[in-house]
Structure 1
Amino acid sequence: MKKSVLVLAVAALGATYAVAADPAKIDWTAVPGKTLTLFYPGQSSHEWLQSDAHKKGAEAIKKGKACTYCHEDEEKKMGASLVKGGPLEPMPVKGKNGSVEVQVQAAYDDKNAYLRFQWKTQNPFPGTEHQYLRFDGKHWAVYGYPKLDKVVQDGQQPGIYEDRFSIMLDDGKVANFGKQGCWLTCHDGERDMPKQFTKDEIAANAMLTALKRADVRKFLPDSRSNPDDWKTGKPLEEVAKLKADGKFLELMQWRAHRSHPVGMTDDGYVLEWRNSDAGKNMFAGNADAKTHEPKFMWDAKKVGYKSVTADQFRQGDHFLIREQNAVPFDPAAGWKEGDMLPDYVVSREDAKGSAADNHAMSSWKDGLWTYVLTRPLGLANADDKALKEGGVYNVGFAVHDDNITTRGHFVSFNHTLGFGAKADIQAVKLK
């Protein structure tokens, strides 16, 4: 892998995807920064937050206090303790850090908001590899899983997963997010959490069946008749009314494999589930649902190979970009055992609608990710929170590092972000 991975898609793609300013030309040395400590939360769900196991905190929550009322400046200490294992982490990942520091800067002009984040990776390489499809001589199957998965911890599969940076944002319409942050969305029953769902429970659940969902992911308490029981979903008509009233959280995710190579950040929201915005994302599965064969392979005429093998990990940029280096999969191309293709194909051209609102500029050098989100001001889509001058927003951040996902991330307590208004993080207006 090269020492520096750089994507400047906003500038490179020209007028088709033009933005008001080139974030590469912003003088970030003139923009004030704030250093936040994000910590490892383990299985500290919203239910645990209010339980006897968290008695002092539960009492504070009943009195309307925020998490920082008890835990201000304790992030590093808590993360170091939780990551080692215990009641809130039944499957600790060997060698994992307990916290990470993130430098945050914010700016805006008449058309866009620009949020810049920097953090050091645990590994001496960028986490741009993601899961693969591997040929075993007869069939293609997923190869590589997140480090929290049992197959990785048992040594049956390698730990392979992309780095991610997530931003959750509220404009004041979601009750308690300003106090409890992302814990409002993290519940027992979700993936890798206590009392994780079963397939039978999913099949018997009216809401998830109607939504055609196969698992349980982030949700807001207001979407359930029992706020802390994922099985008690409200009728979809009531959920739609909540959304129309703006009672959802914005969720923007930059992904080092699935959005970084095309200069984008995916756009979604949390309400009854962790949803993508309307339109189409910049990434899609590369496995055919019926045959399980890949849909695309690398164009050997352009990149010099049609596939890779495990010994080539981190020896180059293994992105499969539909409009740049991919061709339709050829089952008769002489595949050998151990040949691998990415499990996802990415595309800037395919990204459409509200899901394609967010641009990104990102680079990794000498152990440091630098990521700049460019988001238009004043978005009027039904699944977006509109950023505007004078606005103050509740925000929470998360970093996924070291080949891990779900609860294995680092998270922040809630902070405020202001555009020409007083807040923890104050965006500077560009001249």
Structure 2
Amino acid sequence: MKRTLIAAAVSLTPLVAIGEPVKVDPDRNVYIPGEDLDHATLNVAATFDDEKVRIHYEYATDDPSWYHQYWVYQGDGEWERYGSGFGPDEHGLYEDRISMLLDDGGVDGFDRYGGWMTAHDGMRALTSSVDSDEVEAHPKLGEEMGRNDVRKYLPQTRTTEDPTEKSWGAIRDDDELAALQDDGVFLDLWQWRAHRSHPMGVADNGYVLHYRLGSEGRGMFTTNWDDDADQPAYMLDPETTGKRALDWDRLVNREYDQDDPYFISEDNSVAFDPDHDWQEGDVIPQRFLREPSGSRGAIAAEGGYADGAWRVRLTRTLEAPNARDSKSLEEGGVYNVAFAVHTGQVGARWHQVSLPQTLGLGVDDADIVATRVDDVTVANDDLAWTELPVMYPGQATWQWLHSDHPGAEEVRSGEVSIHDEHVADELRGFIIAEELRMLEDDGARD
């Protein structure tokens, strides 16, 4: 009965205006987007004052999503989760995100390769992804950290000397990782999340070391589920929202706007009532939002979607909230940055990324120039915007760059930068062509 309900809702209205992809093969984690999703433009500006820095984003999209994974009642006492990170979600239930990786020079190579140096063979969502059982059996990732997949990491955190070798499991011991962290060999990661952080007025602060990790403190979201009772832990508060649950038809037809309770949080919820007469198609958000603490919640977020674009402002202290998971900034400094955008209701690696850039605070010789103002929190229309092409990153990994990449010899020399060999407008076509070639070679070996 549940499948009939969902199919009927989906057939009424096209959910996402997404064109024909180049290639789709879910068994190999392949979804190569068409031209509507393989590139775009992210506008970035920055300001700073004596104490804070503010990053301004503008990203145009006709299909914004502030939705992200929901429990849907099936009419038989069961709640099923909807919202997938593989390619464009069929129901549009995955949030838009804008991310920035930031470094102060502590990570050798990031200025030359940007986010591509954090992508490795074996990572989730790649054709080469490691089986979850193998990750769960790993002493660090599985037994200690409780993970079942491989995510972004720095090559410096592995003991493999040959950069062409798969290195996901060769993690340095805890003392070595701690020494790297103390020396600033990690990437600061600012993630603005349209659903999981923005309603709480923050962006998600994290970092990349041997894994993509959350910064110190309590995160702004957790899972809305009661394992013991096998049901959601919270429902919407009918006294403050006028409802206990959302409606599936309205949700998939994208009728809940930014002023509606499309999310569930400490401020609009009550304990789940199992005795309520739940109806098939009742919907409760799967992520429970809460007030963050510590470094994890140190980045304030403002703005929203208006006039065809996300217009978002992120503000943080110049001084790192925690020197072991964030990078400090100062006037006159130049920093290495790289950006990524998740849109079209996609997750995991199906996003658009920029080439590595420089961010200068009061320094003109940088790709993005942060201008000094009296107070970053005061509205400022006179911003120095930088247009950044962003593109689908394909399956280009650190191992591929050093082996099958046509320029592998130059990469191995350690002297070449991605800017020396590639122009953004041409790179996206090259990336897709190389992924297709890799898939053909992989298929031939099978």
TM-score, length-scaled by structure 2: 0.72
Match of 1:249 in 2: 187
Give 1:11-410 correspondences, 5 Å limit: 84-85=22-23, 90-93=30-33, 96-123=36-63, 126-136=64-74, 137-148=76-87, 158-208=91-141, 209-226=143-160, 228-313=166-251, 314-316=254-256, 317-347=260-290, 350-381=291-322, 382-410=324-352
Q: Which moved more, 1:85-94 or 1:284-293?
A: 85-94
What is the identity, as a one-letter code, of the residue corresponding to 1:206? Answer: P
- In structure 1, C-alpha distance between the alignment counterparts of 2:121 and 2:261, rounded to whole Å: 35
Q: Offset at 1:109?
A: 0.5
CA contact (8 A) 2:21 2:34 kept: no
Change (3 A) 1:281 1:205: same
Match of 1:5 in 2: none
- In structure 1, C-alpha distance between the alignment counterparts of 2:82 and 2:134, rounded to whole Å: 28
SS of match in other structure, 2:344: coil
CA contact (8 A) 2:72 2:248 kept: no
Correspondent of 1:429 among 348, 369, 372: 372
- In structure 1, C-alpha distance between the alignment counterparts of 2:53 and 2:31, rounded to whole Å: 39
What per-residue deviation string (whole Å, max 9, x for no partner) do you get for residues 107-151 of structure 1?
A: 00011101101011142xx300111011212111212323528xx
Q: Offset at 1:204?
A: 2.7
- In structure 2, C-alpha distance between the alignment counterparts of 1:318 and 1:93, rounded to whole Å: 31
- In structure 2, C-alpha distance between the alignment counterparts of 1:332 and 1:353, rounded to whole Å: 38
SS of match in other structure, 1:239: helix
- In structure 2, C-alpha distance between the alignment counterparts of 1:203 and 1:101, rounded to whole Å: 38
The number of aligned residues is 340
- In structure 2, C-alpha distance between the alignment counterparts of 1:161 and 1:277, rounded to whole Å: 23
What per-residue deviation string (whole Å, max 9, x for no partner) do you get for residues 180-237 of structure 1?
A: 0000111121111121111221133222122222211100001111254102111122
Q: Which runs of 5+ in 1 are unaligned?
A: 1-81
- In structure 2, C-alpha distance between the alignment counterparts of 1:86 and 1:287, rounded to whole Å: 32
TM-score, length-scaled by structure 1: 0.75
Q: Which runs of 5+ in 2 are unaligned?
A: 1-19, 375-446
- In structure 1, C-alpha distance between the alignment counterparts of 2:208 and 2:244, rounded to whole Å: 38
**Over the residues paired in the alignment, what is the CA RMSD in angstroms?**
2.1
- In structure 1, C-alpha distance between the alignment counterparts of 2:94 and 2:77, rounded to whole Å: 25
CA contact (8 A) 2:362 2:370 kept: yes
Percent of counterpart pairs with the same letter?
Answer: 38
